[in-house]
Structure 1
């Protein structure tokens, strides 16, 4: 009865394990023990190497160990070192490393998303390179990355233990400078060819500048010769203060105001009031506008025909030589001479005040269709006013001992205030103390408007310009019997005054 008898109802042997609740901070890596080293690694040709690294240009998430053959190069290498947690929540299985590129020269290679790699726990090394030996179980861990683009990176580490994922470490950064593999690559593949191109470009540019400078110097020499042989004689009667440049005047060559035997008239805008004539007109406009500043002025620009001979251009410039001296309200005001850089290709142009309604002859013809002025007639008061203005202008010219030689309605201009002014002084001549001027040589003259003595012997006087009581006096065959412009003005002024006072 004392024998030990097995009890059949006892259970089979069993092993019971119990895991304590995980402590989150136990799996957290100490950031003070995380070290990052960036270096350049030379790999010789045909050298067998075992690369235990992760390539940043790949999003591969597994550890790789491979034997490869590299050509000679300098490769960037980043080594991460840290200490595993001393008291993890059970065994450490592996570590996560994630990184991304946040700044750099090669913006096309900028990584905006995190790349994550896995690193298994290393066993067997219990010593710490960061300080004295720790009595706790501490292991040194490391991982290497190679062939990284130059730039600034940020990274984080995380422990994965039997309790699961730990916490990411705070973000830290490291930088790969361009003195790594990529600087060597660009220095060999780009900088050297670029330097050669720059040298070639510099030599080519220097040669081009030298050729251009020599051509410009020859052109300036030629233009100086042209000015001395062609330009100066044309402007001999005009001081330099009357000259305008293309910067002073803007003009529209696409829409001419009119054409004649001399050339073409264009409209333009005077932007700088640098000449005596321009300053005189500016003063009048400032006073008439209530002292408001005038910055721009509409003008007329008179040019010669293309291909005109020097003699024809000289005749054209005589007009400017006369007009610069005129200061009368019934003579078109000259503002300056537009001088081009190449006077041989573009002769000087005459800049005058703009008479917006054109010449008197055309203005009268256009009024033929006006119902108020049938048969081409105008109001007597307006006709007398025009005659008085023309007589006043001619009296002024007579006082200067100047003969116009081409006085006609087509050479009298009308502005928007219906004021008539005398223009076109291409045939004008000063008597210079003589009582007459005899034409010598060949020239085109207005036969229709010439006096008998001018037609017979090219003999011109002031009376030649005065060519019915008043009209009969003007048409007298004998020059000495014709009345003067001053007498015509004296006859017209009382008539104009009476018409002004009696007009409704």
Structure 2
């Protein structure tokens, strides 16, 4: 009521605000029978050509047949008609006119529709336990009133006529039954929908039990509920058994549902399991599903071979070691790997099928050290303790010399202790001067003690140790790196990898910022920082910051792919392994995106391969930490890899996680093309024009359609239409799982020695189909209008009809948003092309 009075006051004020403009006729309240015609009218005076708008319950009514009748000069009348009025036409109506920014309104009127009752609350299906009472509710309204309700249960009238709203109390039923209600007023009778009383029963067994994801020691189990028994499922029980000759029961695991999915952890690697599921509702427990059998994947052996012994003769060296048991092996033994070191230099590793090795030419192994490791398809395990190969006579002589040295060391230790005792006694009688220690002279004369703070050697200049305080970097960066700084004196430097063109404190700070990003990374697919050290240089004021990283045996992924195709000894990399590379990169990038890190230089050359061929995302020289918002705008001249950069980044220098997804798609293309340079035949200076026309990387010859579809989805011109890294992980895991039922693959090419007929060769990939889609339209839900324009340009349609070229504006354009423009970067600004076989990039003025 308060709101209505406020509206009336407001309307009166609005009318007074415009002298000479007034409604001379207002719509009248009407009560009409359902199905009849109704007509409302209003007149306004004071305008030559008014536009009168009809309103209903606060919403405009749009009519194509509204007519205006001139009553006299500056005086007009209009009507609103409904030919067959229904209940939904009931409500409050009024007229409005806008004039010089103000709105005046007529008095409101109400249309009341009389007819048979209509239901505002119809009976709904319910589920109940047999014999338990329950209530049913039905509400119907007029006008006209009153409205009476009659219930029908199982085809039989139940109870007497009651007023609406009506509640029927049922003492309980034992079987499923139908029901409905009738509503009656002076105009007639209406019948509600028919509802059903379901009897709650035990649920049916779950269905579709499957393993959707599997790693070394855990699997993700997924299932669908069967018939729920007309009652919500509350929990499910997973029963699992391990098959090792006989079924060994593992304790049941109970989980709440939904979701109907559970991770089973703590499993043994390379083991057979069976699993089944049952679920509960409030009535009881369903039957179990059928047993699902699965085998966990192989893992790297958990232990090193023990008892490594040798026998050395002039003709050969024989090595023996103990085999690993199945629990330690964690897979099927592929080979034992033997590595040896002679004169401080590592020699080529050898692989053997059995737990013994016979190497000819025993003399050449004198003073060599040997270690052995067991290898499965997942990789090689830890190394055994090194064994030094020596003749038996040398071992005996060494033992005798050992006893002699023990006696000599004991004597030296006693002499040292006596010397230290005498030194302490002398110092207790001495005094400190600036020239050293002397005995105290007789007499009571006072003396002054002095200890030199520093000693100097004028014949040899020693470089002072560098610290973070001496670099002039900001305090936040200094504090973040303090606990990972490794003094140079603790390092033994070999060949230093990377650039050393450090000329200023700014160069040092930029290098250390990259290290600061990496300090907090803890993920198996992201390179992890070991530490930072400052390398001192003679005659140089500034040190070289060194970022110390784990050793990556197989180098970068790009070189690995090139060697598989163009190396001196080409080798085949299975499709499953290539997808595993993609999965590793996607998991690493998903981790970085969750930490608000934008990489900006994702490519195969910046992904490293560890000893077991796990991919780690590396090289964070262009990465940025985003502290607010979700994008980073480049603001200086930078050297960037054009062929990996997203379209919007080339246009506006804006970088987001979605632009990293674009680069991931290009990296997928590199992997499937075995290290080829993207966009063969397209120059760096032509990339932007190539992409804006809707062109994309073509499907590699041996690339399956479903893999190409995934990478192609990463190149949508609208960033938010690209998949997230988590979605990419899900898609790639599905592809990997579809291949896991095929032949097993090896993560390392093993060369077998002294084997006769056990050599195998991995299967080659089958030929792919012809490339698809030179250009593909992209669509996604929730696109804005300007993004649809973006799509039109990219798809090539705008090239024929003269579309929106907002992203191809010259560098001096200062369009305003009202003009529909957007400042961007033209291809004229792509200057100074720097070409290299492995890394093609361009200087972009941003």
- Band of TM-score, shorter chain: 0.3 to 0.5
The structure with more radius of gyration? 1
> What's the TM-score once normalised by structure 1's chain length?
0.44
> What's the TM-score once normalised by structure 2's chain length?
0.27
- Give the number of the structure with larger relative contact order, counting CA–CA contacts within 8 Å between residues 6 or more apart: 1
The structure whose residues are more often helix, as a share, is 1
